[in-house]
Structures are given as structure tokens and as C-alpha cells.
Structure 1
Amino acid sequence: MSTLKVKLIAHTPEPDKVVSMAAKLCYSHVGVEEMSEKMTNQEVDKFLSMLMSLGHESPVEHTSFTFAIEGISRACSHQLVRHRMASYSQQSQRYVKLSQFEYIIPPTIESDEKLKQIYVQAMDRAQSDYNTMVAELIKNGRTEKEAIEDARYVFPNACETKIVVTMNARSLFNFFEHRCCERAQWEIRELAYKMLEECKKSAPILFRKCGPSCYKGSCKEGKMSCKKPEISRNRIEQMELQI
């Protein structure tokens, strides 16, 4: 079994200030360097808060954030890469031989001993079948790389993966709106909240209002709304208290 880990390994320096300067430049007769020297933290907070309230998000694209993510399933990473305005580098099952693969257990199965036993047995079978196929393919004249890239097809969606993700802040706004929602699948929702926490630590003004649509105002899910906005609001408020 594997545990979800999210680490912000790089980001644009002073992201709040960078976005403020980029936006102010559109209306200023002075250059960025002179503007930077005069801009105080209070001015950044005031201007950026105003910018976000107006929904002017194009300057937000000037900042980017890179995350190292471990302990997510292939099922989760398949959802993650649907966010196309991003860059991804994922651990390859073609080049990395998984002699003992890690896997994710959904909470509903983890909490039921009978289901968990069935689940773990399925994971053990997948590992055993993978090992057998790799050995047989090599014995039949295939290279190890050829063997593992074909044998990997037996691995389940539960198989753990590692991935590095880079998104600009505007893409992250969209990601958090959709994936922090209570209607999002549980695993990518947990990932989104851990990423949001990292962003709030590094750019507190920029990500102050980030979260699902119900946190920012009204739910966009219409008739499919979970009708429980307090869940997301309470979670984000608790997160901010701990930062």
C-alpha cells in the first residue's frame, strides 16, 4: 500500500508580486523595475485582491508551480492528465521493473475486511502474473525492457505511480474549482486539497479564494450539486488555520 505525498518543489519567485506587476504594467507609464521598487506588500495585497474580485485572470498565467506527487493510483493520474494546460513527467512502467508494485486501496474497501481480503489477493495475483510473464518473455528471447513493457498490461488501475506536474496559476484555479468539489472522485479530490495547501503557503493572496465554485460563490453543478457547500468551506478554513 502507498501513502499520498505532495511536495511543491519549485515555483515562480514572489508569485503574488509577479502577478501584481504584470497586471499593473498594462496601465502604467513606468517599467516593471521601477514599479517593483515602489510596490509594498500592502499594495500587492490590495491590488491583487481587487484583480481577483474582478475575475481578471490572464496576468495569473505568469506564475507557475511544480509539484512532486507520489502515492497516487494510475486511475487518479489518468484523471489528472486530462487537465491539458500543464506539463507532466510520470514514472514509466516500460523502463522501471516493478518487482513489487505499490497500490492504492479505496477507503470503502479498506474499511471492509472481506472486500479488503479479496482486493489484496487480486493485487498479489497481478504481481505474481507479472513476474511470471517477465521471466517467460526473457526466456523466450525478449530483452528485459521488451518483457516489462508487455507484462505491465496485467497491472490494475490501483497500481501506484509517481509524477511531476507543472501548472500555471490560472490552470490551478480551474483544477481546484473542479477537483476540490465534493462531487470529484475521492482520490483526486485529496490530491487537489494537498496541492491547494502548498499553493496557499507560497502565494497566500493569489490562492486566497481558490477552491470549488461553492467556496467562491454559488455551485456551478446545477441539479447535480451535492448541496453541502459547508463541507468544502470548513475544510479550506481549517487548512488556512493550520498554515
Structure 2
Amino acid sequence: MPESRLEVKLLSGTPSAVSLIYAAFRQCYSPGFAGELWPQLLSGDVSQEKQADFIGKILESGHDSPVEHVCYTFAVQGISRALTHQLVRHRIASYSQQSQRYVDAQDFQYILPPAIAAVPEAKQRFEQFMGEVGRVYSDLQSMLTKSGRGAKANEDARFVLPQAAESKVVMTMNCRSLIHFFELRCCRRAQWEIRKMAWKMLKILRMELPVIFSKAGPRCERLSYCPEGKKFTCGKMPLKS
């Protein structure tokens, strides 16, 4: 069972994202009809720079709901079940996750925490245990198959798989949800694995849609103070008090 590595790929994004957000914002503040404005935006009558400038100014006022019209879809592999349990708590999103019920896990990959990797004896013990889990899974799968479970053996054998077991997901979030996700998960206090994934996603989106994501990141950077309070602050930013 080899160690797995994180990989994040952008699969899809809403076409003409800047123009769509611009049209939605303009609809909020204009007596005109966005449906009539749309062809002008696509033809270039209103430059992308002008659209982005308008969006930026409105966002500074705190009005951000129109960015929900734009979504991005990512494929991620090399993440643990421990991470995906955290990920699905972000409920304004869609997830498709690799099934341990249907996918054979005899040779499952795993995620090795850096803190364990840094201690040779801990790393050795961890890897020994992963190997033992694989053998137990295989034994149970064989026993269950012989007992009549057949193709359904996986759904019971999987109960021995650890949170370190590697998983793969496809997820879709709108821009507003992504900004919230980055505020929480790019924070230094976020768990190391989901923080690493969040920063990889943010790096991609800063290139894809800078007008929305160039300033996205930990919540403290937007607020200019740490909202975690004295007990939990990492010390990067001053407290609100």
C-alpha cells in the first residue's frame, strides 16, 4: 500500500464568468434588463477591464451575492477520509466521492501525516499498521466472498479501513461558497491536510478569476484582525480588541 500524494485539478468553470457576475450586479442597480445587456458584454462593447473594475468596487461595499452565479468544479485525489469528513461540512456544494463499497481496496493508498513522517519510529509503526489493515481487509473480503456475500464483500470489509485511506472526489462550489471555504480552510489553524488542498485550489482560482479571488484567503486578511479570539489566535494578526 503506497503513500498517496495530493493532486488538485480544475475540471470546469462557468463560461464568461466576469461578464455573468457583471450582468448580475448591473441588474441589481439598473432599470435595464440584463438579457439585453448580455450580447453587448459578450461582443466586447464593455471591456473586461471595465467589468472587473465595476465588480471590484461593488464587492468592496460588501454586496457579494451575485458571485453565486459562477461555479467551479475540481477533481482532487490523494486526500484522506479524515479530510473528506471535514470537506462535506461545507454544505453549499456538490460532491461525488469514490465509493469504498464498490471500489476494491485491497491495495489502498494512504495519507502519511508530516508529523508522523518526521519521526522515523512513528513512520515505521504507521506503515506497519497500514500493511496489516490491508491484509485484514483482504482476508475479510475472501472470507465474506466464500460465505456468500460475493460482490458485496467490499461493503463489509471496508469497515476496517482507516481514516488515512486515500480518497478521490469531484466537487463543485459557487464563488461565494469558495470564498467562505478559503476564509476558514486557508487559516493557519485549519487542519494541515485540508489547508494544503485549499491553498492549491486558491492558487488555481487566482489565475482563473482574479477579480474575485485575488484577495481571497484567510478571514483575518480580509478583516485585518484575528476573529479567533485570544485563546485560539495563531498570532499572525492582532486581536479585534
Same fold at TM > 0.5: yes
Structure 1 counterpart of 2:38, which letter?
A: E
- Inter-CA distance 16–229: structure 2 relative to 1 (3 Å threshold): farther
- Provide structure 1 residue ranges, at least 5 long, that are not aligned to the other structure: 231-243
User: Counterpart of 1:70 in 2: which secondary structure?
Assistant: strand
Residue 181 of structure 2 corresponds to residue 205 of structure 1: no
Residue 110 of structure 2 corresponds to residue 142 of structure 1: no
TM-score of the two chains, using structure 1 as the length reference: 0.91
Give, in angstroms, the shift of residue 220 of structure 1: 1.5
Aligned residues: 229
d(CA) in 2 for partners of 1:88 and 1:58?
22
Residue 64 of structure 2 corresponds to residue 62 of structure 1: no
Query: What is the aligned-residue RMSD (CA, Å)?
Result: 1.4
d(CA) in 1 for partners of 2:147 and 2:103?
20
Paired residue for 1:50? 57
Structure 2 counterpart of 1:149, which letter?
A: E
- Provide structure 2 residue ranges, at least 5 long, that are not aligned to the other structure: none
Match of 1:22 among 15, 21, 24: 24
d(CA) in 1 for partners of 2:58 and 2:79?
35
Match of 2:105 among 85, 92, 98: 98
User: Counterpart of 2:213 in 1: which secondary structure?
Assistant: coil
Paired residue for 1:234? none
Match of 2:80 among 66, 73, 82: 73
Deviations 1:88-110 (A, max 9, x none): 00000111111200000100001
Give, in angstroms, the shift of residue 229 of structure 1: 4.4
d(CA) in 2 for partners of 1:51 and 1:149?
50
Paired residue for 2:194? 188
d(CA) in 2 for partners of 1:195 and 1:81?
16
TM-score of the two chains, using structure 2 as the length reference: 0.92
Structure 2 counterpart of 1:196, which letter?
A: L
Kept in 2: contact 1:126–1:155 (CA 8 A): yes
User: Counterpart of 1:6 in 2: which secondary structure?
Assistant: strand
Deviations 1:49-82 (A, max 9, x none): 1122111111000000000000000000100000
Kept in 2: contact 1:21–1:35 (CA 8 A): no
Paired residue for 2:236? 228
Paired residue for 1:9? 11
Displaced runs of 4+ in structure 1, greater than 4 A?
none
